[in-house]
Structure formats: structure tokens, C-alpha cells
Chain A
């Protein structure tokens, strides 16, 4: 029996790879567009930039049918529980792109109501800088995510951390980072 173990493993590895390959070309994004970045997100989906070229054109407005949340715009404290709830409603496997300065860090809106980066409260896989990011940048993020999915597939939290540590990749995403302190400025 034992001599067949390796064969089984080889078979499963190849199957995983095939599944990942399928997954990465069929993201179903859930546009969480709360501000101006959302317009750029729509432009990315429209004919000129055409996100369909990367297999991610099926935007779903129900989190139950989506596997990639694109947070485009600032998230205020009244909205954050909604955002978390939507994230929890998405089925595994799922990924999250934080699009624009606001979603990633609060941007210029350093006020009492605006959450200073959604990664304080949600796991984020890819950050897109810019205010707003150009469609090309969002497409770059999708391509990066595709690479990530091909490499790591459907892995979760700790597993991913270990895998990253093995491969020497930088550790992304809030789940692996200790809590960031509140920014102290003037």
C-alpha cells in the first residue's frame, strides 16, 4: 500500500493545480463600491479596459455568488459592520482586493468616521495604490491575484502563512499581521 502513497499525492497535486488554473480565470467579483473609486472600477469592467479579458467580468451584487470582493472607496464606521457581514456571507474560496488609497489607508479622510484601512478589520490579499487607481492598476491587481491563486490555491490563514514562510514571499493580508496602532499625528 505504502508504495502507492506518493502516486496518490502526485495525482492530487496535479488536480489541485488544474483546479487553481480554472479558478484563477473565473473570478466572480463582488463590487463593494462606496465612493469615487467605484467609477474607476466600472470603467475597468466596461468595454475599453474590459476586465473580461482576464475572466473576471461576472460582477455579482450578491455576496453569496461571488468569490472576490473589491472594496473600492472609503468605508465609514457605519458601513464597516455591513462590509464584514458581506465578507462573511461570501463562500470559500474567497479573496479581497482593497482598491485605492481610501480603502487601504483612509486616504485623505483622516476623520472620526472613516476607517483608516479596511485591513484593520478584514483580511486583504492585494492592495491597489492610487487615488483613484487607473483601470490598468486594477487589472494588474487581478493578474497578481491570479498568480497568487495559481501558486497557493485555496488556502486559509495559517496555512498561507506557513506557505509564504516556506517560499520566502512577503506576508500580505491583515490576518497575518499584528494589529496596527492608531496613527499618531499632531
Chain B
């Protein structure tokens, strides 16, 4: 290992944010509550992820909000793992959480497979979930059961595909040019 690399490592260690301990305690609490095997953990520097089965995801998120104080839903997003090397599942949904008083961050991830692309909504926990879930639905076609108004948010409502899926062509299927032409004579 070169000197520069050693220094990098030391710097990375020194940069560890103070809330990491809190996140570690949170994961221990999650495991105590939901069982060791239901909560899978992975980590890169201060980026901590817990992977939970889709059936448990609502309880886990509710626990994180109510018992562990994660009061801020930063983002909900999804990943399509089609053609991804060594991937076992097709889709993942990721909730990005934050606790505003100590700055702790945690990512909750769950895997989904066709045909059952449904996860429970977290709209009753965080109101921010409203538009975030609609965006994931718009782009990936993942449904959020119990959402009060699950319809497209960015694309026009008559759009029929989910464009961020990997099997959707980049240039679309002609939707962008499906309009009537206006000529000089008509206008």
C-alpha cells in the first residue's frame, strides 16, 4: 500500500461523522426487533444500507420513524437490475432517510420481482412520499399500495410505458413524435 493510500485511509477514518454510532445502534435495534436474518447490512464509508424483505419494509420504516427518530424522508428511488452482472432480482426500491437533529442518514432497500411490483406506501409516515412515490411509479411502474393519488407526475397521463426500465429504448417507441403537424395553411 502506497503512502498516499495510507494517508487516504487515515483521512477517511478521521472523517467518520459522529452519528455513525447512532446508526449502528439503530441497526442493532432493528435486528433485535425484526430478527437477525431479516436485516441485512452493507456499508461504504458513511453510507449505511439495510436490506429488508418487501413484506417487512413498512414495519421497518415505521419503526425507524417512530422509535428511532428518522423524521425526514430525503428521497425514494428505484433501480432496474436487468442485465446487471450477478443480479438476482429485477428491481430495488430505496428509501433515503435522515434524522434532522443529529444528521444521521440511513438507506433502506428492498428487492422486487415481476409480476408483483407492489410495496406499501409510506405516505402516512412522511407526507413527502406523495410525489416521490408518484415519480417512482411514473418511471419504473412500481406501485405503492395505499397511495392516495397514484398517477403519473412527470410524463403525460396517456404515456403507456415506464421509461427508466432498462428494456425501454432510450429514444422511446415514437411517443415523442406522435402529434399532429401544423402547417402554414392551418395556422
Q: Is the CB of A112 within 8 A of B156?
A: no
Nearest residue, chain B, Cβ from A158: B185
Instruction: Return A123 CB to nearest CB of chain B, in Å.
Output: 5
Assess whether A34 is interfacial by the CB under 8 Å rule: no
Assess whether B169 is interfacial by the CB under 8 Å rule: yes
Say whether, besides A112-B168, A121-B182, A123-B182, A77 and B175 are in contact (CB < 8 Å): yes
Instruction: Return A66 CB to nearest CB of chain B, in Å.
Output: 14
Assess whether B115 is interfacial by the CB under 8 Å rule: no
Q: Is the CB of A157 within 8 A of B185?
A: yes
Interface centre among A80, A114, A175 (most CB of B within 10 A): A175
Q: Is the CB of B183 within 8 A of A123?
A: yes
| Cα of A84 to Cα of B168 in the assembled complex, Å | 28
Q: Considering the complex, which residues of chain A in the window 110-146 have a beta carbon less than 8 Å from any beta carbon of chain B?
A: 110-116, 120-123
Say whether, besides A78-B155, A78-B156, A112 and B184 are in contact (CB < 8 Å): no
* Cross-interface CB contact of B181 among A88, A110, A120, cutoff 8 Å: A120
Q: Is the CB of A121 within 8 A of B179?
A: yes
* Cross-interface CB contact of A111 among B172, B182, B183, cutoff 8 Å: B172
Say whether, besides A78-B156, A111-B171, A112-B168, A122 and B176 are in contact (CB < 8 Å): no
Instruction: Return B130 CB to nearest CB of chain A, in Å.
Output: 20
Q: Considering the complex, which residues of chain A in the window 153-186 have a beta carbon less than 8 Å from any beta carbon of chain B?
A: 156-158, 160, 173-176, 179, 182
| Cα of A160 to Cα of B184 in the assembled complex, Å | 10
Chain B residues near A114: list those with CB within 8 A: 176
| Cα of A165 to Cα of B174 in the assembled complex, Å | 34
| Cα of A174 to Cα of B171 in the assembled complex, Å | 22
Assess whether B177 is interfacial by the CB under 8 Å rule: yes
Nearest residue, chain B, Cβ from A117: B177
Nearest residue, chain A, Cβ from B173: A112
* Cross-interface CB contact of B169 among A112, A113, A156, cutoff 8 Å: A112
Chain B residues near A111: list those with CB within 8 A: 170-172
Chain B residues near A121: list those with CB within 8 A: 179-182
| Cα of A173 to Cα of B163 in the assembled complex, Å | 32
Interface residues of B (CB under 8 A from A): 155-156, 163, 168-185, 187
Q: Which 9 A-B pairs have the closest CB atoms?
A: A112-B172, A157-B184, A175-B184, A175-B183, A157-B185, A77-B176, A123-B184, A78-B156, A156-B184
Show 25 A/B contacts (Cβ-Cβ < 8 Å), sorted by A: A76-B176, A77-B156, A77-B175, A77-B179, A78-B155, A80-B179, A87-B182, A88-B187, A111-B170, A111-B172, A112-B168, A112-B172, A112-B173, A112-B175, A113-B175, A116-B176, A120-B181, A121-B179, A122-B182, A123-B182, A156-B185, A157-B183, A158-B185, A175-B183, A175-B184
